[in-house]
């Protein structure tokens, strides 16, 4: 949508819609309000804060230190900012944006469908867990790191009596430490990244020494609590059965020994993947990010996408963490104001760019220190489940590559149903692409990315829009 016609609109007539009330969305709204614009802020969650600073439900009384650990101060500051903003924005929580057309969003809230028109759209959709399958991960008791974090923050429960945290990246240690702080039993932290990778990444990680120190403190807390922490492991299997769920996690240690840890729950995760579904439906261009080996939204430095009038900020655009998301939220709001020929202080833009440049360097260090374990996909046993929704095995996926020449992810999806389930490929599409890549002997970039279709998340059959569609069907 061209913005030229909007430049002469009075600010109170300008329809700016922000999707997502996490760090990026909150700071974006704050900046727009300061410029005299009252944005509409749509959020799927019941309360603000996003995933990393998700607020506990009303009536819960756990203190910030217990709930957020090392991130308590940042969470409190963001929540206070939002509380000050709330009366100055059109805030619509518990609202899922499930589709869009140019200038209009399709939403559902508490079973009721509605549309929201926009002149400018700012996507602050955040990220979800990036997962690599392991044999047995379909058993009851296996969660993503984000799912484990939601259980703790939103329901005040642990996912199990003895929890193993397996994967790699800062979130692995953050969630494990939050469980420890809350009084849960952490059976072990099993990290696929070897120590040598972290040492090699130190020059880049020193771009943010304060954050590096926080990470070291999290690790020290686990060691002081005598939590077994193993680096450089190779995940082999989650043990258990369909009746009882998880009973143990088995890995090969960096020394080549087999290690089995008794547990009744496993939390898995390897960094994050951006939620780009709405941007994809809007027709925004994507690009392959070499450092993280995944597809991301292609934006300019300020957050403009390839589609005029559509912007993006935070981890939904590129994975840089919550601190960077706050700065990116401010920057994208300034970019919109600039495009509308509203007065913007040049130093304000320059400051946000400088901060994000430093954070980009640190982010590159994280990808070096905690690499995506692509080799695990090649080593998956044929009977291992890749797609948990449709229960598609690695062997079935390899067979469509060998027998039907399906070397592109959407073609493999059509033949095997991988990625067609409830999660819409969020859990399996990247790992599935790695399996296809290894089986076909081509670079994962050439395998492509899974195309998005509406609804981007499942809708209840009782949703009003579906009922209306049913009445007019022949």
DSSP designation for 455: -
Q: Is the pLDDT of residue 41 over 80?
A: yes
User: Closest Cα to residue 156, out of 135, 184, 133, 177?
Assistant: 184
Instruction: pLDDT band for 6, please (50, 70, 90 cuts).
Output: low
Q: What length is written for the chain?
A: 474
**For helices 23-34 and 72-85, what crossing angle results, to 10°?**
40
Q: DSSP E strands: which ranges in 255-352?
A: 258-262, 265-270, 272-274, 286-289, 294-297, 310-312
Instruction: pLDDT band for 12, please (50, 70, 90 cuts).
Output: low
Instruction: pLDDT band for 377, please (50, 70, 90 cuts).
Output: very high
Alpha helices by DSSP H, listed for 340-393, are: 346-369, 375-379
Q: What is the pLDDT of residue 462?
A: 78
Produce one character per residue of 301-318: b if its CB has 16 or more CB atoms within 10 Å, e if not: ebbbbbeebbbbbbbbbb
DSSP designation for 388: T
Q: Is the pLDDT of residue 473 over 50?
A: no
Instruction: pLDDT band for 433, please (50, 70, 90 cuts).
Output: very high
Cα 345 from chain centre = 32
DSSP designation for 391: T
Q: Is the pLDDT of residue 2 over 50?
A: no
Q: Is the pLDDT of residue 13 over 90?
A: no
Q: Is the pLDDT of residue 38 over 70?
A: yes
**pLDDT tens-digit profile of 170-185?**
999 999 999 998 899 9
Residues above pLDDT 90, as percent of the chain: 81
Q: What is the pLDDT of residue 57?
A: 80
**Judging by DSSP bridges, how do beta strands 265-270 and 272-274 pair with one another?**
unpaired
Mean pLDDT of 121-137: 96
Task: List CB contacts of 123: < 8 A, sequence separation 6 or more.
Answer: 19, 20, 278, 279, 310, 311, 312, 313, 316, 317
Q: What is the pLDDT of residue 353?
A: 93
Q: What is the pLDDT of residue 466?
A: 58
Instruction: pLDDT band for 1, please (50, 70, 90 cuts).
Output: very low
Domains of the chain (ranges; CATH) run 4-128+273-366 (3.50.50.60), 131-270 (3.50.50.60), 375-447 (1.10.10.1100)
ω into 440 cis (within 30 of 0) = no
What is the Cα–Cα distance from 254 to 194, expressed in whole angstroms?
8
**Judging by DSSP bridges, how do beta strands 245-252 and 258-262 pair with one another?**
antiparallel
Long-range contacts of 237-241 (CB under 8 A, 24+ apart): 237/134, 237/135, 237/136, 238/134, 238/135, 238/136, 238/137, 238/139, 238/142, 238/266, 239/136, 240/136, 240/139, 240/140, 240/141, 241/139
Q: What is the pLDDT of residue 461?
A: 79
**For helices 394-404 and 429-440, what crossing angle results, to 10°?**
50
What average pLDDT does the chain have? Answer: 92
Residues above pLDDT 70, as percent of the chain: 95
474's tokens: 């022949």
What is the Cα–Cα distance from 419 to 191, expressed in whole angstroms?
26
Mean pLDDT of 64-79: 86
3-state secondary structure (DSSP) of residue 70: helix
Q: What is the H or E stretch that residue 164 is in?
A: strand 163-168
Q: What is the pLDDT of residue 320?
A: 93
Q: Is the pLDDT of residue 10 over 80?
A: no
What is the Cα–Cα distance from 13 to 168, expressed in whole angstroms?
47
Q: What is the pLDDT of residue 9?
A: 62
Mean pLDDT of 164-171: 96
Higher pLDDT, 345 or 126: 126
For residues 99 and 281, the answer to whether their CB atoms sit within 8 Å is yes
Alpha helices by DSSP H, listed for 388-463, are: 394-404, 409-416, 429-440, 444-447
Q: What is the pLDDT of residue 70?
A: 78
Produce one character per residue of 135-158: b if its CB has 16 or more CB atoms within 10 Å, e if not: bbbbbebbbbbbbbbbbbbbeeeb
319's tokens: 């994975």
What is the Cα–Cα distance from 364 to 214, expressed in whole angstroms?
18
DSSP designation for 304: B
According to DSSP, the residues that pair with 387 across neighbouring strands are: 392
Instruction: pLDDT band for 3, please (50, 70, 90 cuts).
Output: low
**pLDDT tens-digit profile of 259-302?**
999 999 999 999 999 999 999 999 999 999 999 999 999 999 99
What is the Cα–Cα distance from 142 to 265, expressed in whole angstroms?
6
């Amino acid at each position: 949508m061209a913005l030229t016609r909007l430049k002469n609109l009075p600010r109170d007539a300008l329809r700016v819609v922000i999707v997502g009330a996490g760090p990026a969305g909150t700071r974006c709204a704050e900046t727009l309000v300061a410029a005299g614009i009252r944005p509409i802020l749509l959020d799927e969650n019941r309360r603000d804060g996003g995933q990393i600073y998700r607020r506990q439900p009303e009536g819960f009384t756990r203190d910030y230190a217990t709930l957020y650990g090392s991130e308590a101060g940042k969470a409190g500051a963001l929540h206070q900012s939002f509380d000050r903003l709330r009366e100055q924005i059109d805030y619509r929580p518990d609202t899922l944006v499930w589709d869009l057309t140019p200038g209009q969003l399709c939403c559902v809230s508490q079973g009721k469908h509605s549309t929201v028109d926009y002149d400018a759209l700012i996507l602050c959709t955040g990220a979800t867990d990036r997962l690599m399958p392991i044999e047995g991960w379909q058993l009851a008791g296996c969660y993503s790191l984000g799912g484990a974090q939601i259980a703790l923050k939103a329901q005040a429960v642990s996912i199990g009596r003895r929890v193993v945290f397996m994967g790699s990246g800062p979130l692995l240690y953050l969630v494990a430490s939050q469980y420890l702080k809350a009084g849960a039993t952490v059976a072990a932290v099993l990290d696929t990244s070897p120590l040598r990778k972290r040492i090699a990444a130190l020059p880049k990680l020193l771009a943010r020494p304060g954050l590096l120190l926080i990470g070291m403190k999290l690790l020290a807390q686990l060691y002081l609590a005598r939590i077994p922490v193993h680096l450089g492991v190779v995940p082999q299997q989650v043990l258990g059965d369909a009746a009882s769920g998880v009973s143990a996690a088995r890995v090969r240690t960096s020394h080549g020994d087999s290690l089995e840890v008794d547990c009744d729950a496993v939390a898995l995760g390897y960094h994050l993947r951006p939620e780009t579904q709405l941007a994809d439906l809007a027709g925004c261009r994507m690009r392959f990010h070499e450092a993280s080996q995944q597809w991301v939204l292609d934006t300019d430095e300020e957050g403009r996408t390839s589609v005029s009038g559509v912007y993006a900020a935070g981890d939904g655009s590129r994975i840089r963490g919550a601190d960077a998301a706050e700065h990116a939220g401010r920057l994208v709001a300034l970019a919109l104001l600039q495009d509308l020929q509203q007065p913007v202080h040049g130093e304000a833009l320059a400051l946000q760019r400088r901060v994000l440049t430093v954070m980009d360097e640190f982010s590159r260090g994280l990808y070096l220190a905690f690499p995506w374990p692509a080799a695990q996909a090649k080593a998956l046993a044929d009977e291992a489940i890749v797609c948990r929704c449709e229960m598609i095995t690695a062997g079935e996926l390899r067979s469509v590559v060998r027998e039907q020449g399906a070397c592109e992810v959407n073609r493999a999806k059509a033949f095997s149903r991988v990625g067609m389930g409830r999660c819409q490929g969020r859990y399996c599409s990247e790992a599935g692409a790695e399996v296809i890549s290894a089986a076909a002997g081509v670079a994962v970039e050439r395998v492509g990315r899974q195309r998005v279709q509406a609804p981007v998340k499942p809708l209840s059959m009782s949703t009003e829009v579906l009922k209306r569609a049913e009445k007019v069907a022949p």
